Chains A and B, each alone.
Chain A
């Protein structure tokens, strides 16, 4: 359990496959999180330091309960860190105990569940973020139609969530997260509930979408192959308390095809990560 390569790796040396600007899109400095319950205080995250570059795709992997969802929720501003600082695009997410809305508005979040609103059809679900910002109906529907096409939902614009399969609902959730042109996309096991085949297809789609929208992505998963297939870098979190064990750079250019999964480099990294994850108790 000795931290081998630590979080001090600068983002600029990562993702050698493509150009990473010197300014980090997301900077996590010394973030810790304690949860206090009646039975005492548990440390969920301990001293997380991570710097993610513009347009980089970073996978966050670990066993269940290692704090990866907590870490993502902190980045999303849904929970406050006990210590440390988050900066997005050079601006601090928190100013005191209140959140900076100009920073939040750069984010797009996709949750484990699609969390769609059953009373709205696909177009209205996708364009909800725009609606909250006061964008006129015609304009927001136009954007939603574009996004529906981008995520492969053309022809389902007027469908209600209950009429869609799990994979399609998650596509709607992704489109909704993209509707405000986020610069940073945070995804918490978005395909966890899908079957293996649908999942593989969704991974390819996500790769295409993330490159097309030029978004920076943080992707939480417990699936090693998925993490390596999608990520420029894979961050391995160990549990109790959650801390960064290792950061692996995947030296394969994106976009990657399904065939990349048989590439010796891919196989090697997946193998190493599997050994590292198995070494945990």
Chain B
């Protein structure tokens, strides 16, 4: 029983404690060693800047823009990733003919293509949405493809021996056993989509938190730059958390969910 309490305490308490310790050491180091604010601002300065930023409408507008780009891009990636993954997983002939292209398109650093998308789709949100979709697409597609192929042959035998129709086999077996792979792809995909949206804003944006990084940098305002980084991290955490909650609700029976619930 004591062990269980200890694990619960660790789960909820460890991160805040570690953060406080980290920020404390940081503040102490910066103050005692007299580090220039331009190189490393003290946490107190950063949070000051952050609260100031949170009071302006511009910050909330930027956050909204980046969130929209990342989420819409991710949803497009999800739809296309699942459909392509299923097709490639189910139809080996298509997969064989497309494999070299798929490998090539993965190896190409997609970030290098961002200026192109900016030229084609402009400086507005649409180019960032497309970049976010492209970044999120590959991990989802690859995981779904793997999932479709990983259906247990023994469980397939059960469905065959029960004379199940194609639809029944899909509904009771293939769909359920592929879902964990879809969520594994989604967890990576949402992070990639956020990166895509931010880098898109760096390179060709006029609004959004990624653009905020560029402007604070140009103003040499290091505390504000750190504040934007904190906002972006928070955004990333929230979106990842939402995907994780969706996973817990959809596949409570799966090891990745079950074992998380039952550590210790």
Q: Which residues of A contact B (CB under 8 A)?
A: 76-78, 99, 101, 104-105, 107, 109, 111, 113, 115, 117-119, 128-129, 131-132, 160, 162
Contacts and interface: CB of A to CB of B under 8 A. Distances in A.
B160 interface: yes
Contacts of B258: 162
A115 B253 contact: no
Contacts of A105: 163
Contacts of A119: 176-177, 251, 253-254
- The 9 nearest A-B residue pairs measured at CB: A115-B154, A119-B176, A109-B161, A119-B253, A104-B163, A115-B158, A101-B163, A113-B154, A129-B162
A107 B254 contact: no
Contacts of B8: none
Contacts of B253: 118-119, 160, 162
B155 interface: yes
Interface of B: 152, 154-155, 157-158, 160-164, 168, 172-173, 176-177, 251, 253-255, 258
A99 B162 CA distance: 12
A77 B160 CA distance: 9
Contacts of A109: 157-158, 161
Given A117-B155, A162-B258, A107 B172 contact: no
Contacts of B177: 119
A76 B258 CA distance: 35
A111 B164 contact: no
A128 B162 contact: yes
A117 B254 CA distance: 11
Given A132-B168, A162-B255, 15 more contacts: A76-B161, A78-B157, A78-B161, A99-B163, A109-B161, A111-B157, A117-B173, A117-B176, A118-B254, A119-B176, A119-B177, A119-B251, A119-B254, A128-B162, A129-B162
Nearest to A113: B154
A131 B172 CA distance: 10
30 contacts: A77-B161, A78-B157, A78-B161, A104-B161, A104-B163, A107-B161, A109-B157, A109-B161, A111-B154, A115-B152, A115-B155, A115-B157, A115-B158, A117-B172, A117-B176, A119-B176, A119-B177, A119-B251, A119-B253, A119-B254, A128-B158, A128-B162, A128-B172, A131-B172, A132-B162, A132-B163, A132-B168, A132-B172, A160-B253, A162-B258
Nearest to B160: A78
Contacts of A77: 161
Contacts of B158: 109, 111, 115, 128
A118 B152 CA distance: 12
B181 to A, nearest CB: 14
Nearest to A188: B157
Nearest to B156: A115
A170 B162 CA distance: 17
B42 to A, nearest CB: 50
Contacts of A107: 161
Contacts of B154: 111, 113, 115
Contacts of B161: 76-78, 104, 107, 109
Contacts of A162: 253, 255, 258
Contacts of A78: 157, 160-161
Contacts of A160: 253
